[in-house]
Amino acid sequence: MTVLTRRRTVDQPPPLFRLFREQISTSRWYIHILLWIAVIFMGLPLFYAALVSTQNNAQMFRLQLTPGDSFNFNLQTVLDRNIARLMLNTFAVATMVTLGKVVLSIFSGMALVYFRFPGKSLVFGVILAALMVPGEVTIIALFRLVALELGWGNTWTALVVPAVASPTGVFLFRQHFASITPELSEAAQLDGATPLQFLVRVLLPLSRNTVTALVVIMFIGAWNSYLWPLLIVTNPDLQVIQVGLSTLDDGVEVGRTWGPIMLGAVIASIPPILIFVLMQKQFLKGFALARHK
């Protein structure tokens, strides 16, 4: 609103103008306070989770708002429950899925923009239509296919292979490549470059933001996926962190032991938050491009 107030002063005589300026500074003050309230509101759940991760149940139940003394115990518990293994598994699976998605999407996007072949719009339509089908719609039949017909139950193959074909990625790269001037590929052809050389030397350096945007969404999506691994993987040695979180209970007390679970939740949230916050800018640029073209 401040911006509006200031703009309104365009036709005002000087004394009034000064009056408005004072109003601006006070209203800005309120904005800061309101924004801090919003920030605290957004941060409170995870902040409290971090606090509880240092406490035992007794401290949590009496609403102790200072760090408790059970951090070491909680850490020992989650380590005993093999959180390191779970994190490593998740990292490996998420990396494979992300890498696969990005590489396949780049190739598909390239095929759809830089080549002529019969049935191109049909192929693009088939890929695009898959955007419409959320995984949850097919999950029962997919479970039957992967577990029963392919026999991939309890393998990482089941976690990675069905996930690597990405209509979102293809769409994003197709739009991005289509926005790059065709003169570049014409020039590359005149210089005798093969499509792969053109891809590596020209397209990839021009696609940093799009690649980053895709890596961010795909990695976070893969890291956070829960339902599919819950169904298809039962071997704890192969399990991912999202499913493993509920096993972080110490199993001694009746009901949930909140400390270890919250410690696990905080640890599990660090990688996606870190990636998202660090790559925020490129991520937004990559999307702005996709939206405007």
Size of the site for another protein (CB under 8 A): 105
Q: Tokens standing for 273? A: 């938050």
Binding residues among 177-216 for another protein as defined by CB under 8 A: 181-186, 189, 195, 198
Shortest distance (Å) from residue 8 CB to another protein? 5
The verdict on 12 binding another protein (CB under 8 A) reads no
Pick 89 or 185: Cβ nearer another protein: 185
Q: Tokens standing for 275? A: 């990636």
The verdict on 226 binding another protein (CB under 8 A) reads yes
- Dihedral over alpha carbons 254, 256, 257, 258 (to 10 degrees): -150
Shortest distance (Å) from residue 86 CB to another protein? 12
The verdict on 94 binding another protein (CB under 8 A) reads no
Binding residues among 17-76 for another protein as defined by CB under 8 A: 28, 31-32, 34-35, 38-39, 42-43, 45-46, 48-49, 52, 60-63
Shortest distance (Å) from residue 220 CB to another protein? 5
The verdict on 91 binding another protein (CB under 8 A) reads no
Q: For residues 104 and 108, give the distance between their C-alpha atoms in angstroms, rounded to a whole number.
A: 6
DSSP H/E element including 284: helix 280-292
Q: For residues 257 and 254, give the distance between their C-alpha atoms in angstroms, rounded to a whole number.
A: 8
Q: For residues 81 and 30, give the distance between their C-alpha atoms in angstroms, rounded to a whole number.
A: 47
Q: Tokens standing for 95? A: 């990396």
Q: For residues 2 and 24, give the distance between their C-alpha atoms in angstroms, rounded to a whole number.
A: 6
The verdict on 142 binding another protein (CB under 8 A) reads yes
Shortest distance (Å) from residue 140 CB to another protein? 4
Phi then psi dihedrals of residue 164, to 5 deg: -75, -25
Shortest distance (Å) from residue 166 CB to another protein? 8
Shortest distance (Å) from residue 236 CB to another protein? 16
Q: For residues 107 and 224, give the distance between their C-alpha atoms in angstroms, rounded to a whole number.
A: 26
Binding residues among 100-119 for another protein as defined by CB under 8 A: 104-105, 107-108, 110-119
The verdict on 16 binding another protein (CB under 8 A) reads no
Among 83, 213, 214, 261, contact with another protein (rule: CB under 8 A): 261
CA of 211: how far to CAs of 58, 123, 175, 218, in Å?
47, 22, 13, 10
